[in-house]
Amino acid sequence: MPVSGRVLVVEDDHGLRDVVARGLREAGFEVTTAADGTGALRTAAAARFDAVVLDIGLPDADGRDVCQAMRAAGTTAPVVFLTARDGVTDRLSGFAAGGDDYLTKPFHIAELVARLQVAVRRSGEPADAGGGDVRVDPAGHDLTGPGGSVALSPTEFRLLARLLAEPRSVVRRNELVAAAWAHGSIVADNTLDQYVAKLRRKLAEVGTEQTIVTVRGVGYRVS
């Protein structure tokens, strides 16, 4: 059977992880596994994958934060979230974090295979993305650069990860709000601006030349 693509499966439940990996291999995928967010980021940085199956409820980090950190580091492969929660707000937060699809537990392996096949078919070659000389950690919510590390609040982490996912591209204000705050939150313009100002200071603190540029009337970009 020809290989359908390389898939990274991130799931902390040992039994479910083995079942998913076995089912995907039987369907022709080449599978690598990780049990937590830290391992997922390390594995994703070491090899290119055609898709990622990512559990939201990981022991060391929210899977949505892991997805944002992957995007910030340059991973462009489609991400299918696994979760026990099926609310509209949960699904929207997953999409805002950079996910491409959403599968609720319990699920049939055949459905996961079908969704992955579609996702791999639609995905192209990796884009020129990544955080340059800085990286964000979803487990500790840290920002690390050439001059050291600083702590980020969860909101700061999500804003910066969203910006780093598309370096040199303008990210609209409403997209940043969707990535950093719960669906339906009322976020004043000056609140977003204040968070961006904090992030500029923290980028300078870790010794990077990258900063966040205001595109007036539209949004922000990392430059």
Predicted local distance difference test score (pLDDT) of residue 159: 95
Predicted local distance difference test score (pLDDT) of residue 166: 87
Question: For all residues of the chain together, what is the average pLDDT?
Answer: 91
Q: What is the pLDDT of residues 132-177, one digit of tens each?
A: 899 999 999 999 999 999 999 999 999 999 999 988 899 999 999 9
Residue 127 has pLDDT above 50, yes or no: no
Phi and psi at residue 167, in whole multiples of 5°? -60, 140
Q: Which domains does the chain have, with CATH numbers?
A: 5-122 (3.40.50.2300), 135-222 (1.10.10.10)
Strand partners, 5: 29
Predicted local distance difference test score (pLDDT) of residue 184: 81
Mean pLDDT of 76-83: 94
217, with CB counted inside 10 A (0-12, 13-18, 19+), is exposed
Confidence of residue 182 (pLDDT cuts 50, 70, 90): confident
Q: What is the pLDDT of residues 105-115, one digit of tens each?
A: 999 999 999 99
Q: What is the pLDDT of residues 10-69, one digit of tens each?
A: 999 999 999 999 999 999 999 999 999 999 999 999 999 999 999 999 999 999 999 999
**CA 52/CA 29 separation, integer angstroms:** 12
Q: Is the peptide bond before 78 cis (omega within 30 degrees of 0)?
A: no
Predicted local distance difference test score (pLDDT) of residue 128: 46
User: What is the CB neighbour count within 10 angstroms for residue 25?
Assistant: 15
Residue 125 has pLDDT above 60, yes or no: no
Strand partners, 83: 104
* pTM greater than the 0.85 cutoff: no
